C-alpha cells in the first residue's frame, strides 16, 4: 500500500472558496480516477489556511497509472484552469508514505 499525503496552503481567507470550487468542479473528476480519498480535511490547528488529503494506492505503478489518467482527462484540465484563474493556492507539498509493518488499515471508529 502507498499513501499520497498532500498539503495545500491557500491565501488567507480563501480556503472556503477554494474548497467550494473543488467540491463543485473537481472532486468528482478526481475521485473518478483516484477512487475515494482516505481523508480530506481542513486544518483546525497548526499552519492555518491549509487543508490535506490522503489517497491510497496499491503501488507506485498503480499511483502513476491512475494519476496519468487523471491528468489526461479534459474535464480535469478544465478544472485546473478554473482553479489557477481563481488564484487561491499558494503552495503544495506531497509526501508518499508506506505503512509500518504492524499497521493494518481498517474502519475508523
Instruction: Please state which architecture CATH assigns to domain 2-97.
Output: 2-Layer Sandwich (3.30)
pLDDT above 90 (res 8): yes
What pLDDT is stored for residue 56 in this prediction? 94
CA-CA distance, 109 to 70, in Å (whole number)?
Answer: 31
19-75 residue pLDDT tens: 999 999 999 999 999 999 999 998 888 888 999 999 999 999 999 999 999 999 999
Query: Mean pLDDT, to the nearest integer, of 99-105?
Result: 85
Q: How confident is the model at residue 103 (pLDDT cuts 50, 70, 90)?
A: confident
CB 72 within 8 A of CB 66: no
For residue 59, which of 3, 5, 19 has the smallest C-alpha distance?
3
pTM (2 d.p.) = 0.86
The sign of the dihedral angle between the CA atoms of 13, 93, 26, 34 is: negative
Map out the domains of the chain as residue ranges. Answer: 2-97
Query: Mean pLDDT, to the nearest integer, of 67-94?
Result: 96
For residue 98, which of 65, 60, 61, 69 has the smallest C-alpha distance?
60
Continuous H helices in 6-104? 15-21, 27-34, 60-72, 74-86
Amino acid at each position: 500500500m502507498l499513501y499520497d499525503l498532500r498539503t495545500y496552503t491557500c491565501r488567507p481567507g480563501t480556503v472556503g472558496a477554494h474548497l467550494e470550487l473543488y467540491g463543485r468542479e473537481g472532486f468528482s473528476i478526481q475521485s473518478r480516477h483516484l477512487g475515494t480519498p482516505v481523508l480530506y480535511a481542513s486544518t483546525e490547528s497548526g499552519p492555518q489556511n491549509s487543508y490535506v488529503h490522503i489517497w491510497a494506492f496499491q503501488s507506485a505503478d498503480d499511483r502513476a497509472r491512475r494519476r496519468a489518467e487523471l491528468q489526461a482527462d479534459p474535464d480535469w484540465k478544465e478544472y485546473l484552469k478554473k482553479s489557477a484563474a481563481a488564484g487561491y493556492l499558494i503552495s503544495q507539498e506531497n509526501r508518499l508514505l508506506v505503512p509500518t509493518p504492524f499497521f493494518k488499515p481498517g474502519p475508523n471508529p
